[in-house]
Structure 1
Amino acid sequence: MAFIRCLYEAGMVGEMWKTIQDMVKSTCVIGPSELSEIVKILGRAKMVNKALSIFYQIKIRKCKPTATTYNSMILMLMQEGHHEKIHELYNEMCNEGNCFPDTITYTGLISAFGKLGRDDSAIRLFNEMKDNGLQPTEKIYTTLLAIYFKLGRVEEALGLVQEMKMKRCALTVYTYTELIKGLGRARRIDDAYSTFMNMLKEGCRPDVVLMNNLINILGKAGRLGDALKLFNEMESLQCTPNVVTYNTVIKVLFESKAPASEASAWFEKMKANGVVPSSFTYSILIDGYCKSNRVEKALLLLEEMDEKGFPPCPAAYCSLINSLGKAKRYEAANELFQELKENCGRSSARVYAVMIKHFGKCGRLSEAVDLFNEMKKLGCTPDVYAFNALMSGMVRVGMVDEAYSLLRTMEESGCTPDLNSHNIILNGLARTGGPKLAIEMFTKMQHSKIKPDAVSYNTFLGCLSRAGMFEEAARLMKEMNAKGFEYDQISYSSILEAVGKVDEVRNPTTL
Structure 2
Amino acid sequence: MIAESVGLRRAISTLPHLCDRIKQTENEIVQMFRLSSRKDETNLPINRTQSRINRSVRTLDERFIRILKIFKWGPDAEKALEVLMLKVDHRLVREVLKIDVEINVKIQFFKWAGKRRNFEHDSTTYMALISCLDEAGLVGEMWKTIQDMVRGTCLIGPADLSEIVKILGKAKMMNKALSIFYQIKGCKCKPTASTYNSIILLLMQEGHHEKVHELYNEMCNEGNCFPDTVTYSALISAFGKLGRDDSAIRLFDEMRENGLHPTAKIYTTLLGIYFKLGRVEKALGLFQQMKEKGCSPTVYTYTELIKGLGKAGRVEEAYSIFLNMLKEGCKPDVVLINNVINLFGRAGRLADALKLFEQMESLHCTPNVVTYNTVIKALFESKAPASEASSWFERLKENGVVPSSFTYSILIDGFCKTNRVEKALMLLEEMDEKGFPPCPAAYCSLINTLGKAKRYEAANELFQELRENCGSSSARVYAVMIKHFGKCGRLTEAVDLFHEMKKLGCNPDVYAYNALMSGMVRAGMIDEGHTLLRTMEENGCIPDINSHNIILNGLARTGGPQRAMDIFTKMKQSKIMPDAVSYNTILGCLSRAGMFEEAAKLMKEMHSNGFEYDLITYSSILEAVGKIDEVRAHTSL
TM range, normalised to the smaller chain? over 0.9
**Partner residue in 2 for 1:85:** 211
Residues 480 and 486 in structure 1, CA contact (< 8 A), matched pair in contact too: no
State whether structure 2 residue 631 is matched by structure 1 residue 507.
no
Structure 1 counterpart of 2:613, from 485, 488, 492: 485
What is the one-letter code of the residue matched to 1:197? L
Q: Which amino acid letter does the alignment assign opposite residue 193 of structure 2?
A: A
Q: Residue 152 of structure 1: which of 278, 287, 291 is its match? A: 278
Q: 1:399 aligns with which of 515, 520, 525?
A: 525
Give, as a single letter, the amino acid of the residue that structure 1 aligns with 2:613.
F
Distance 1:197 1:189 in 2: 12
Per the alignment, residue 115 of structure 2 pairs with none
1:477–1:69 Cα change, 3 Å = closer
The structure 2 residue matched to 1:196, chosen from 315, 322, 327, is: 322
Matched, 1:21 2:147: yes
How many Å separate the matches in 1 of 2:279 and 2:514?
35
Q: In the alignment, is residue 142 of structure 1 matched against residue 243 of structure 2? A: no
Code of the residue aligned with 1:349 in structure 2: it is: A
| Cα pair distance change 1:153/1:478, threshold 3 Å | closer
What is the identity, as a one-letter code, of the residue corresponding to 1:471?
Answer: E
Following superposition of structure 1 onto structure 2, how do residues 250-289 of structure 1 map, counting pairs within 5 Å? 250-289=376-415
One-letter code aligned to 2:503: K
For residues 295 and 151 of structure 1, the distance between their equivalents in structure 2, rounded to whole angstroms, comes to 40
Higher CA-based Rg: 2
Letter of the 1:15 counterpart: E
Letter in 1 for 2:369: V
- Decide whether the 8 Å contact of 2:409 with 2:439 is kept in 1: yes
Q: Please identify, of 18-27 and 429-438, the stretch whose mean Cα deviation from structure 2 is larger.
A: 429-438
- Aligned partners of 2:591 and 2:621 also within 8 Å: no
Q: Deviations over 1:457-478 (max 9, x none)?
A: 2222222222222332333334
Corresponding residue for 1:324?
A: 450
Checking the alignment, whether the CA contact within 8 Å between 1:254 and 1:263 is kept in structure 2 is: yes
Using the alignment, how far apart are the partners of 1:379 and 1:82 within structure 2?
26
Equivalent pairs counted in the alignment come to 508
Q: Which amino acid aligns with 1:499?
A: I
Residue 358 of structure 1 aligns with which residue? 484
Deviation at 1:92, TM superposition (A): 0.8
Which range is displaced more, 261-270 or 78-87?
Answer: 78-87
* Letter aligned with residue 628 of structure 2: V
Instruction: Report whether the alignment pairs 1:436 with 2:553.
Output: no
Aligned match of 1:334 = 460
Counterpart contact for 1:110–1:126, Cα < 8 Å: yes
State the Cα distance separating 1:487 from its structure 2 match.
4.5
Contact 2:549–2:582 (8 Å) recurs in 1: yes
Task: Provide the C-alpha distance between the structure 2 equivalents of 1:66 and 1:446, rounded to a whole number of angstroms.
Answer: 57
Range that drifts further, 87-96 or 399-408: 399-408
Amino acid in structure 1 at the alignment position of 2:368 = N
Distance in 2, matches of 1:292 and 1:451, equals 34
Note the alpha carbon deviations across 1:260-310, whole angstroms, 9 max, x for none: 111111000000000000000000000111111111110000000010000
Deviation of the 1:185 alpha carbon: 1.6
Q: Structure 2: where are the runs of 5+ without partners? A: 1-126
Deviation at 1:506, TM superposition (A): 4.7
Percent identical across equivalent pairs?
79
Q: CA 1:477–1:102 in 2, change beyond 3 Å: closer, same or farther?
A: closer
Structure 1 CA distance, aligned partners of 2:605 and 2:615?
11
1:421-466 C-alpha deviation (Å, 9 max, x unpaired): 1111121112211222222222222322222222222222222222
- Summarize the alignment of residues 33-432 of structure 1 with structure 2, pairs less than 5 Å apart: 33-432=159-558
Secondary structure (helix, strand or coil) at the match of 1:309 reads coil
- CA drift of 1:384 comes to 1.3
- TM-score (structure 2 length as normaliser): 0.78
Cα offset, 1:74, TM superposition: 1.4
Return the alpha-carbon distance in structure 1 between the equivalents of residues 207 and 542 of structure 2. Answer: 31
CA deviation digits over 1:80-124, x for unaligned, max 9?
322221111111111111111111111221122222222111111
User: Letter of the aligned partner of 1:176 in structure 2?
Assistant: Y
Query: Aligned in 2, Cα 1:87/1:499: closer, same or farther, shift over 3 Å?
Result: same
Distance 1:55 1:463, change over 3 A: same
SS at match of 1:184: helix
Q: Structure 1 404/80 Cα, relative in aligned 2: closer, same or farther at 3 Å?
A: closer
Q: Give yes or no for the alignment of 1:467 onto 2:596.
A: no
The equivalent of 2:84 in structure 1 is none
In the TM superposition, what whole-angstrom CA distance separates every residue of 1:125-179 from its partner, at most 9, and x where no partner exists? 1111100001111111111111111111112211222222112111111111111
After the TM superposition, which segments of 4 or more aligned residues of structure 1 sit over 3 Å from their partners? 477-483
Report if aligned partners of 1:129, 1:135 keep a CA contact under 8 Å in 2.
Answer: yes
Greater CA deviation, 68-77 or 468-477? 468-477
**Equivalent residue letter for 2:514:** N
Amino acid at match of 2:520: M
Instruction: Specify which structure has the bigger relative contact order, considering alpha-carbon pairs within 8 angstroms and separated by 6 or more residues.
Output: 1
Q: Residues 400-436 of structure 1: CA distance to partner in whole angstroms, max 9, x if unpaired? A: 1211121121122221221111111121112211222
- Pairwise CA distance, 1:490: 4.5
Residue 493 of structure 1: how far off its partner (Å): 4.6
Distance 1:68 1:439, change over 3 A: closer
Tell me the alpha carbon deviations over residues 291-344 of structure 1, each in whole angstroms, 9 at most, x when there is no partner.
111111100000000100001010100000000000000000000000111111
Displacement of 1:79 in angstroms is 2.5
Instruction: Tell me how far apart the structure 1 counterparts of residues 262 and 599 of structure 2 sit (CA, whole Å).
Output: 62
Structure 2: distance between partners of 1:53 and 1:481: 64
Deviations 1:204-225 (A, max 9, x none): 1100000000000111111111
**Kept after mapping to 1: 8 A contact 2:564/2:586:** yes
Tell me by how many angstroms 1:492 deviates. 3.8
1: CA distance between counterparts of 2:253 and 2:284? 16
